[in-house]
Homo-oligomer: A and B are copies of this chain.
Amino acid sequence: MATVTLLTDAELSPEAAEVFAEIRAARGTEYVNDFWRALAHDPATLRATWDRLSAVMAPGALDPLVKEMVYLAVSTANGCAYCVHSHTTAAKAKGMDTAMHGELLAVIGMAMQTNGLVTALGVAPDAAFQVTRSD
């Protein structure tokens, strides 16, 4: 089920093939997951997405596992089943164990709950939460 075909390696444009080679090199596996095979119909967006994803998810002020868990949290709130599955797999590969997974889900559930309560209560942000020039 998809709105476009999943391109095989043989069907890739040269530009897309180049991105696939980078994905394989970065991940150390021949396997390229179906999101990229669907996105490859548009080599420009494939390139832009891969380049930006690589930059954003690289180690920095936050470690890669924290970034994966944040990615998974956003994907959950947006109801993206594919993203939930792919980023759970990625987070486990980066060290998320059962206890961490459980706590992550508990935080997501708690946030969803209070997001709903706050919205239904219609409360405006406290003045204390406002950032001022002197911060």
Contact = CB atoms under 8 A, between A and B. Distances in A.
Interface of A: 1-6, 31, 33-35, 38-39, 41-42, 44-45, 48-49, 52-53, 55-57, 60-62, 66-67, 69-86, 88-89, 97-126, 128-133, 135
Q: Which of A49, A61, A76, A128 has the most CB of B within 10 A?
A: A76
Contacts of A73: 70, 73-74, 77
Given A70-B111, A105-B42, A114-B49, A85 B121 contact: no
B105 A112 contact: no
What 10 A-B pairs have minimum CB-CB distances, sorted nearest first? A42-B102, A77-B77, A112-B116, A74-B111, A85-B125, A61-B99, A113-B113, A85-B129, A79-B79, A3-B88
Tally of this chain's copies? 6
Given A3-B84, A108-B117, 16 more contacts: A6-B123, A35-B121, A39-B117, A42-B101, A42-B102, A45-B117, A60-B103, A61-B100, A62-B69, A70-B108, A74-B77, A74-B111, A78-B79, A82-B125, A84-B122, A88-B120
